[in-house]
């Protein structure tokens, strides 16, 4: 059996479309009854993740987002088509520190044709 994401989006790899992903994130987090603070943290984290993958995105490529909705948890993977030789985001940089401070988990993955970041957050209401 293959697992699938609850929501998948594909948009051009352009900063103009990051707002679409941030808004989708907020809507899905609200659907899971996240607090307003958690929703805003996720919006910021997704924006940072997009900025990091777009730095290495092909100009003619796409930006992808998959959203996996769990019981009180939302996982988001943001990835972009990239040229060969793309590298993982700088995990010592400010943007990565923001991601890890705002989310429960964050990880990065680079393949020969894409660069991606996965982040997850559990609802504060579960604590």
Residue 73 sits in a domain of what CATH number?
3.30.565.10
State how many domains the chain has: 1
Give pLDDT, residue 68. 94
User: What one-character DSSP code corresponds to residue 5?
Assistant: -
Using CB atoms within 10 Å of the CB of residue 20, give its burial: 0 to 12 exposed, 13 to 18 middle, 19+ buried. middle
pLDDT tens for each residue of 81-107: 998 888 988 899 998 999 999 999 999
Residue 12 domain-assigned (yes or no): yes
Q: Which two tokens stand for residue 51?
A: 């900025």
Contacts of 94 (CB under 8 A, 6+ apart): none
Tell me the pLDDT tens digit for each residue of 1-50.
455 568 999 999 999 999 999 999 999 999 998 999 999 999 999 999 99
Residue 46 belongs to what domain range? 7-126
Query: How far apart, in Å, are the Cα atoms of 85 and each of 51, 66, 112?
Result: 18, 24, 7
pTM greater than the 0.85 cutoff? yes
Contact criterion met (CB below 8 Å) for 110 and 20: no
Distance CA 86, CA 54 (A): 11
Residue at 2 is within a domain: no
- Report in angstroms the alpha-carbon separations of 39 from 43, 51, 60, 61, 123: 6, 19, 31, 28, 9
């Amino acid at each position: 059996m293959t697992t699938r994401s609850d929501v998948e989006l594909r948009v051009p790899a352009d900063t103009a479309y990051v707002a679409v992903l941030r808004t989708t994130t907020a809507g899905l987090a609200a659907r899971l009854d996240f607090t307003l603070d958690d929703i805003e943290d996720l919006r910021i984290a997704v924006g940072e993740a997009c900025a990091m993958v777009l730095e290495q995105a092909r100009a003619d490529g796409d930006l992808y987002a998959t959203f996996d909705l769990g019981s009180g948890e939302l996982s988001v993977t943001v990835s972009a088509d990239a040229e060969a030789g793309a590298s993982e985001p700088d995990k010592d940089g400010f943007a990565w520190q923001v991601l890890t401070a705002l989310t429960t988990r964050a990880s990065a993955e680079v393949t020969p044709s894409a660069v991606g970041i996965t982040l997850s957050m559990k609802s504060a209401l579960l604590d």
